[in-house]
Amino acid sequence: MIRLLTLSSFFVLLMACKTETKEQHSKIESSTEVQKELSIAEKIAKAHGYDHWKNVNEIEFTFNVDRGENHFERRWTWQPKTNYVVSMVSKDSISMYTRHAPSKVKETVDPKFINVDKNFINDKFWLLIPFQMVWDEGTTLSEPIKAVTPIAKTEMNKITLTYSSEGGYTPGDAYDIFYDEDFIIREWIFRKGNSETPTMATTFENYEDFTGIKIAKNHKTAEGNFNLYFSNIKVK
């Protein structure tokens, strides 16, 4: 009888330990879920297909600007895993180089490629701003608020992305980014040097899906005489 009671007590103790372990595991999972709460920048990046970026080996695109009767374009091929960049402005102007850590790029890129690299950073920024928000260092992001967009004049969510006054090609710049309830960017305001007066405001439109990555192919001003757009986009 004594052995039976002892055995029963053992099983009760074992079940209590299992219950406690499950409860502790549940608390850990809940804590992990809280820790994994995405930031606004991460939610915007994810909405534009950031989860698919890890599969990208190469991306090609042509950066175009139509301003009135004038047209300008630059063609790029970028291999993000190796940071190998090919620039082609014309048949007689082709540049190839390898980028390094963003914080060291000015020191590591051959001086003759600095202007090319500056153009690449600009064009890539327009193409992949939803991802740049989580890639770029030395930035601050405001809390989201409701605000009226500069072009469509509709109320949307707004956050402000501000770059540090040190480092980079255009330090201190700020971007007021307007996004919808699905975290898709619809308009933005660029403010050079974080000035209070807008430098430029454009739309984000004509979205197209490239192997899961959503890219806004057109950026237009309210006046209608400016269109920055992307063509020949290939994501491999």
Per-residue pLDDT tens over the stretch 62-86: 999 999 999 999 999 999 999 999 9
Give the pTM.
0.81
Mean pLDDT score of the chain:
85
d(C-alpha 166, C-alpha 193), whole Å: 11
pLDDT score recorded for residue 28: 45
**In this predicted model, which residue has the larger pLDDT, 204 or 7?**
204
Each residue's pLDDT tens digit, 3-21: 444 434 433 433 444 444 4
Other beta carbons within 10 angstroms of residue 118's beta carbon come to 16
Residue type (1 letter), 228: L
pLDDT score recorded for residue 57: 98
Domain 40-235 carries which CATH code? 2.50.20
Structure tokens at 141: 């992001």
pLDDT score recorded for residue 98: 87
Cβ neighbours of residue 116 closer than 8 Å, sequence gap 6 or more: 85, 87, 95, 97
Other beta carbons within 10 angstroms of residue 232's beta carbon come to 12
Instruction: Tell me whether residue 204 is exposed, middle or buried, using C-beta atoms within 10 angstroms of its C-beta: 0 to 12, 13 to 18, 19 or more.
Output: buried
pLDDT confidence bin for 35, thresholds 50/70/90: low
d(C-alpha 80, C-alpha 234), whole Å: 13
H or E element, residue 29? helix 2-35
Q: Where are the beta strands (DSSP E) in the chain?
A: 59-67, 70-79, 84-90, 93-98, 139-141, 145-148, 155-163, 174-179, 185-191, 200-203, 205-210, 213-220, 226-235
pLDDT confidence bin for 169, thresholds 50/70/90: confident
* Radius of gyration, alpha carbons of the chain: 25
pLDDT score recorded for residue 94: 87
